[in-house]
Amino acid sequence: MNNLNSIAKGWFSEICDMWPGIALSIEIERVLFSKKTRFQQIDLFQTKSHGKMLVLDGIIQLTEADEFAYHEMMTHVPLFAHPDPKSVLVIGGGDGGVLREVGRHQCIESIDFCEIDDEIIKLSKKFLPKIACGFDDPRISIHIEDGSRFITRQKNRYDVIIVDSSDPIGPGEKLFEKPFYLGLKNALKKNGIIATQGESFFIHKEYVKNLVKITKQLFPVQAYSYMLVPTYPGGHLGICLASLGPELKQPARSMPENFQEKLQYYSLKIHRASFVLPYFAQEMIDGI
Ligand code: SPM
């Protein structure tokens, strides 16, 4: 675990330089898994109120209680904004949550999945089966590699790319930089869409501004959406979206039959609503 983070009297506190002065604390029952890999410290806890909780380098990545909000929005906003997605790339998200959601789209023919740390995949298959339930989908090809390197070899291949990264400290750092975004753009087919983890407009203004600046410079269409996630700092997380053509704020297709009932957070209505930002956040983004 990250030195700054602590477990005291049965509580895990998420303390990080990226959000100084605040910490989310969750009461834990026991440690299920703890390992330092080549890339990061992985911890999995059984919490009292939120099911299992995955923590990387001391930062909460997901809890079983609210992971659906993040995974559904990161996935279905870009996939429903595309009129006919057939080829998808997912970078990061070794827990499999985004893959589970991508797999719900029967129109998709191939899914490339690139994760830097295969220990997260192994752990998730063992301890988080409801999240890591999509790995056996025959449409998936798994690549264990740094996403910032993998992307440099991909040209004109994908309709949608989803980047489910951790924060821009540690192994995720390069995934917030302009060369990576240029790689994403080059990897897209005509009319392609990207969606990346967009941080918080309340507590990470400089990171958000930087992502918006990069995507506005590189792509003809750019937009910022967000979802509510109680166990991320600030209780929400943004999605930075960009496309080579399609409008992003409106779904481009209707929902297949029986699709909605499998979801808990995403709907076509929340798709549109998620782009309506608080006034200060919209002003900040428009000013870039
Ligand atoms: N598949 C789950 C991986 C989660 N990826 C995003 C994690 C972000 C954690 N920190 C949020 C900090 C708030 N800006």
Same domain for 47 and 34: yes
The domain that holds 18 is classified in CATH as: 2.30.140.10
pLDDT at 237 over 50: yes
Domain check: are 199 and 125 in the same one? yes
Regarding whether 185 and 44 lie in a shared domain, the answer is: no
Question: Which value, to the nearest 10 degrees, does the dihedral of the CA atoms of residues 122, 123, 127, 128 take?
Answer: -80
Q: Is the CB–ligand 1 distance for residue 66 below 6 Å?
A: no
With bands split at pLDDT 50, 70 and 90, how would you rate the model's confidence at 8?
confident
Which protein residue's CA is at the shortest distance from atom 8 of ligand 1?
166
Residue nearest to atom 4 of ligand 1 (CA): 61
Enter the tokens of residue 84: 């006919």
Q: Is the CB of 52 within 6 Å of ligand 1?
A: no
Whole-number Å distance, alpha carbon 60 to ligand 1 midpoint, is 7
49 and 134, same structural domain? no
Are 133 and 71 in contact by the 8 Å Cβ rule? The answer is no
Q: Would you give the end-to-end CA distance of the chain in angstroms?
A: 37
The total of structural domains in the chain comes to: 2
Q: What is the pLDDT of residue 3?
A: 43
Same domain, 53 and 93: no
CB contact set of 80 (below 8 Å; sequence gap of 6+): 251, 252, 253, 255, 268, 271
Q: Calculate how far, in angstroms, residue 166's C-alpha sits from the geometric centre of ligand 1.
A: 5
Report the pLDDT averaged over residues 254-268: 98
Ligand 1 near 55 CB (within 6 A): no
Q: Check which CATH number belongs to the domain holding 202 and give it.
A: 3.40.50.150
Is pLDDT above 70 for 264?
yes
Question: Of 12, 45, 62, which residue is a domain's last?
Answer: 62
Name the band, by pLDDT with cuts 50, 70 and 90, for residue 5: low
With contact defined as beta carbons under 8 Å apart, do 219 and 227 qualify? no
Q: Domain boundary at 62, 88, 112, which?
A: 62
Please indicate, yes or no, whether residues 220 and 127 belong to a single structural domain of this protein. Answer: yes
In this structure, the answer to whether residues 167 and 47 fall within a common structural domain is no
Residue 257 CA, ligand 1 centroid: distance in Å: 31
Residue 59 beta carbon below 6 angstroms from any ligand 1 atom: yes
List, by residue number, the catalytic residues.
164
User: Is residue 162 located within the same domain as residue 38?
Assistant: no
Banded pLDDT at 171 (limits 50, 70, 90): confident
**Top mutation candidate among 54, 165, 229, 239 for ligand 1, by most atoms within 8 Å of CB:** 165
Domain ranges, residue 162: 67-286
Answer yes or no: do 214 and 282 share one domain. Answer: yes
CA dihedral 207, 85, 141, 152 (to 10 degrees): -50
Tell whether the model's pLDDT for residue 1 goes beyond 90: no
- Banded pLDDT at 170 (limits 50, 70, 90): confident
CA of 17 to the centre of ligand 1 (A): 15
**Domain end (from 14, 38, 62):** 62
Same domain for 180 and 46 = no
> Are residue 57 and residue 76 in the same domain, yes or no?
no
- Closest ligand 1 atom to Cα of 131: 1
Are 91 and 189 part of one and the same domain? Answer: yes
